């Protein structure tokens, strides 16, 4: 029997959506989650595709997440909105907050969104890419749970705390986007190495005694390392402050105190900043900005071996809608079993 199952992207969406709905997750929440999971599979981001369905289901089953939450938007200041997910999943809350954020940014020049009480187990590129498609520059920051040791330390404190950035491009080109954890790897990558019986690259983690390890189980029991030593740790610290203290959300270690250690993840915060490029230059210079950026990208790509961040995803996007994707049979069966409630 084949070890993997081929699926079309509509199969992925249907499988995700049916499983989420079977577990009492509202149609709106299920639809937004299934869209995110399908986008991740479409773009070859396995650690945030169907692999995450068990965590979504577990979070709803154990009561950490409200599966029928309806997010609400609050106007906090001329340039700031808050979206309260009311302990629901992030994708629906982000969808609800997008138009008010775009509206504030295009009228003010710069705006911010604080997303509170949301379960965010996804990648950040979907939210910043969608904002850049509206012509905005966008930054996003999310805390996680205590997984990463501070520089020089040996015990988990920070989350894997990703930050993402998106820049709009002219002539119908998809935005430039980078989206990266402040740890040497996303936690999902360690879990995938564990599932596949593969050792970790050096420098990703230390064990519970603070010794370097390439064993995924020892890494999950110990601490992940920031990327680039103290430099990645400083970014993780910044993300804690922006997506935690600044918007009234918990720090990653406080999220861990609520963790039920069953694969689910308690709600927490995300901070998004958006800038309308047209407000950042004088009126006679408005059209020059994007062309100027293109000149930088061209100069960069003249060097063999370079590529723009997100180009790997965009290339996958050319292939998967026709060729589909594969997932391990064990994952497929695990997800089907979750439909039996
Ligand atoms: P990667 O290290 O795989 O990639 C980071 C970024 O670098 C991507 O934008 C990637 O673009 C780009 N990149 C990679 N290689 C190159 C290259 N050779 N040249 C130019 N750009 C390159 O990501 P991480 O492992 O750090 O994070 C994975 C995901 O996990 C992220 O989406 C993140 O948001 C998510 N995450 C979510 C968390 C949560 O709690 N919600 C917590 C931690 C992480 P490309 O995609 O095109 O390869």
Give the CA distances from residue 21 to residues 17, 94, 184, 210, in Å, rounded to whole numbers and listed in that order: 6, 20, 35, 42
Spatial distance between the Cα atoms of 280 and 106, rounded to a whole number of angstroms: 11
- The C-alpha torsion from 122 through 62 and 257 to 197, rounded to 10°, is -60
Mutate to test the pocket of ligand 1, among 36, 175, 180 (most ligand atoms within 8 A of CB): 180
Please confirm, yes or no, whether 41 is among the known catalytic residues.
Answer: no
**Residue of 48, 146, 264, 270 marked active site:** 48
List pLDDT tens digits, range 279-332.
999 877 767 899 999 999 999 999 999 999 999 999 999 999 999 999 999 999
pLDDT at 127: 97
pLDDT at 260: 81
Query: Which DSSP symbol is given to 261?
Result: S
**Residue of 41, 127, 129, 189 marked active site:** 189
The owner of tokens 């029991």 is 221
Cβ(123) – ligand 1 distance below 6 Å = yes
The answer to whether 229 and 235 are in contact (CB under 8 A) is: no
The answer to whether 116 and 255 are in contact (CB under 8 A) is: no
The C-alpha angle 167, 173, 178, rounded to 5 degrees, equals 35
**Residue of 47, 86, 133, 294 marked active site:** 47
If we measure between CA atoms, which residue out of 48, 97, 93, 49 comes closest to residue 70? 93
pLDDT along the chain (341 residues), means of 10: 92 98 98 98 95 94 94 98 97 98 97 96 96 98 96 96 97 97 92 93 96 97 96 98 97 91 84 96 82 97 98 98 97 96 82
Cβ(181) – ligand 1 distance below 6 Å = yes
Q: Which ligand 1 atom is nearest residue 314's CA?
A: 47
Beta-carbon count within 10 A of 197 CB: 7
Please confirm, yes or no, whether 127 is among the known catalytic residues.
Answer: no
Phi, psi at 207, each rounded to 5°: -85, -175
Please confirm, yes or no, whether 47 is among the known catalytic residues.
Answer: yes
Mutate to test the pocket of ligand 1, among 178, 189, 232 (most ligand atoms within 8 A of CB): 178
Residue 62: CB partners within 8 Å, gap ≥ 6? 260, 262, 264
Angle between helices 329-337 and 53-61 in degrees, nearest 10 = 20
pLDDT at 233: 97
Give 162 Cα–ligand 1 centroid separation in angstroms.
Answer: 8
Mutate to test the pocket of ligand 1, among 270, 303, 312, 313 (most ligand atoms within 8 A of CB): 312
Cβ(186) – ligand 1 distance below 6 Å = yes
The mean predicted confidence, pLDDT, of the chain is 95
Element (H, E) at 222: none
Cβ(136) – ligand 1 distance below 6 Å = no
Beta-carbon count within 10 A of 192 CB: 17
Q: Which ligand 1 atom is nearest residue 125's CA?
A: 32
pLDDT at 1: 66
Spatial distance between the Cα atoms of 16 and 7, rounded to a whole number of angstroms: 12
pLDDT at 193: 94
Angle between helices 311-323 and 27-42 in degrees, nearest 10 = 110
pLDDT at 222: 97
Nearest CA to ligand 1 atom 34: 123
Nearest CA to ligand 1 atom 10: 309
């Amino acid at each position: 029997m084949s070890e993997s199952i081929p699926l079309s992207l509509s199969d992925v969406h249907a499988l995700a959506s049916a499983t989420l709905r079977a577990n009492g997750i509202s149609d709106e929440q299920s639809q937004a989650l299934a869209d995110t999971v399908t986008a991740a599979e479409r773009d070859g981001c396995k650690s945030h595709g169907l692999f995450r369905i068990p965590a979504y289901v577990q979070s709803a089953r154990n009561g950490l997440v409200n599966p029928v939450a309806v997010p609400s938007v609050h106007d906090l200041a001329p340039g700031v909105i808050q979206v309260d997910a009311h302990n629901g999943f992030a994708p629906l809350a982000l969808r609800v907050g997008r138009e008010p954020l775009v509206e504030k940014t295009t009228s003010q020049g710069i705006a911010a969104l604080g997303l509170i009480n949301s379960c965010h187990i996804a990648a950040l590129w979907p939210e910043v890419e969608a904002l850049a498609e509206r012509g905005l520059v966008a930054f996003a920051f999310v805390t996680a749970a205590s997984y990463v040791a501070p520089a020089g330390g040996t015990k988990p404190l920070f989350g894997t705390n990703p930050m993402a950035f998106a820049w709009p491009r002219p002539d119908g080109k998809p935005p430039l986007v980078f989206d990266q954890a402040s740890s040497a790897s996303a936690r999902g990558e360690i879990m995938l190495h564990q599932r596949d019986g593969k050792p970790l690259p050096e420098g990703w983690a230390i064990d519970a005694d603070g010794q370097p390890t390439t064993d995924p189980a020892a890494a999950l029991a110990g601490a992940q390392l920031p990327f680039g030593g103290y430099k990645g740790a400083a970014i993780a610290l910044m993300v804690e402050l922006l997506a935690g203290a600044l918007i009234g959300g918990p720090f990653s270690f406080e999220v861990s105190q609520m963790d039920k250690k069953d694969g689910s993840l308690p709600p927490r915060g995300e901070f998004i900043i958006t800038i309308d490029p047209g407000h950042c230059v004088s009126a006679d210079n408005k059209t020059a900005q994007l062309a100027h950026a293109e000149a930088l990208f061209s100069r960069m790509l003249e060097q063999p071996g370079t590529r723009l961040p997100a180009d790997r995803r965009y290339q996958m996007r050319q292939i998967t809608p026709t060729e589909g994707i594969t997932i391990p049979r064990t994952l497929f069966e695990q997800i089907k079993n979750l439909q039996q409630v």
